[in-house]
Amino acid sequence: MTTPPLRLSISVNAEQTLVLQGELDAHSAPALAAKLGELDAARTMKLDMSALDFIDSSGLRVIIEADQRARQASGSLVLLEPSRAVSRVLDLSGLGSMLDIV
Amino acid sequence: MFADSDAGGSATVSFGSDVGDVGRCRDVVGEFLTRHDAGLDAYEDLRLVVSELVSNAVQHGDAPGGTVTVVAEPDRFVIEVSGAESIPDPAALIAPTPTQPSGRGLILVHAVADEVTFVTADAGDRRIRCIRYR
């Protein structure tokens, strides 16, 4: 039996921002990790999260690791417009004050 | 919907050994909660609980799958997820440091559930039960 389809789509817009749509969980987190790994950590990586309906700790892990890579390379990771559901999880995990969120 | 069963005040959905099953579990629980008049906070929080517990069971549990059961009671919702043998005693949980990548899943579950307990149905069938008051 094939694995269920990923519920996350990742696209890159004209400003080189990664636009996330759907749900970021243990199933889809590796795909985001792979995409983030392709980016230059020494630059500003932007994640548009306005269309992300769901995130759990698996998604948080990928974001934290990317944030750490960016800081170590003197770059930055910026989260753009997280939805209500995502903001709640960021705040509950204590990451709301640690990550760069606009 | 893809629930195994949905009889009035409860629904059950099973998952296998593929972490891709977790989305369907969230769907079934979310749809049940909506039909049983859960508020938006409870809806979002309990889908998070299911996602964390099923992911844990699939990725770290010994059993080749398990079940999620959600029950609607007048004053609360109860969610039970099987495959909890590998989950440590919640009293031993230590909050991860801010920069630590892992360990947040159960912390989140405890943060949004009003009660988190373990239930042993049969030998080898240890479940984690989460209660969220309406």
Identity (one letter) of the amino acid at A29? A
Residue A66 has pLDDT above 90, yes or no: yes
Residue A25 has pLDDT above 80, yes or no: yes
Please classify residue B76 by burial: count the beta carbons closer than 10 Å to its beta carbon, then call 0-12 exposed, 13-18 middle and 19+ buried: middle
SS3 content of chain B, % helix, strand, coil (to 5): 35, 30, 30
Give contacts of A65 with chain B, Cβ < 8 Å. 101
DSSP state of B21: G
3-state secondary structure of B47: helix
Residue B29 has pLDDT above 50, yes or no: yes
pLDDT tens-digit map of B30-52: 999 999 999 999 999 999 999 99
Q: How many residues does chain B have?
A: 134
SS3 content of chain A, % helix, strand, coil (to 5): 35, 30, 35
* A94–B108 C-beta distance less than 8 A: no
CA dihedral over B46, B51, B54, B59, signed as positive or negative? negative
Kindly identify which residue of chain B lies nearest to residue A86, measuring between CA atoms.
B44
Residue B6 has pLDDT above 90, yes or no: no
Kindly identify which residue of chain B lies nearest to residue A89, measuring between CA atoms.
B108
Supply the pLDDT for residue B42.
Answer: 96
Give contacts of B22 with chain A, Cβ < 8 Å. 25-27
Supply the pLDDT for residue B92.
Answer: 45
C-alpha span between A49 and A55 (Å, rounded): 10
Question: Where are any strands of DSSP class E within chain B?
Answer: 5-7, 10-15, 66-73, 76-82, 115-122, 125-133
C-alpha span between A92 and A34 (Å, rounded): 26
- pTM here is 0.91
Q: Which range is least confidently modeled, A42-46, B52-56, B100-104?
A: B100-104
Supply the pLDDT for residue B90.
Answer: 55
Percentage above 70 pLDDT, chain A: 99
Confirm or reject contact between A64 and chain B (CB < 8 A): yes
Output B97-101 pairs: Cβ under 8 A, ≥24 positions apart: B98/A94, B98/A95, B98/A98, B99/A64, B99/A68, B101/A61, B101/A64, B101/A65, B101/A68
Residue B97 has pLDDT above 90, yes or no: no
For the record, the structure tokens of B115 come out as 């009660």
What ipTM describes this predicted complex?
Answer: 0.94
Tokens 């049940």, residue? B32
Residue B61 has pLDDT above 60, yes or no: yes
* Arithmetic mean of pLDDT over chain B: 85
pLDDT band, residue B80 (cuts 50/70/90): very high
Supply the pLDDT for residue A41.
Answer: 81
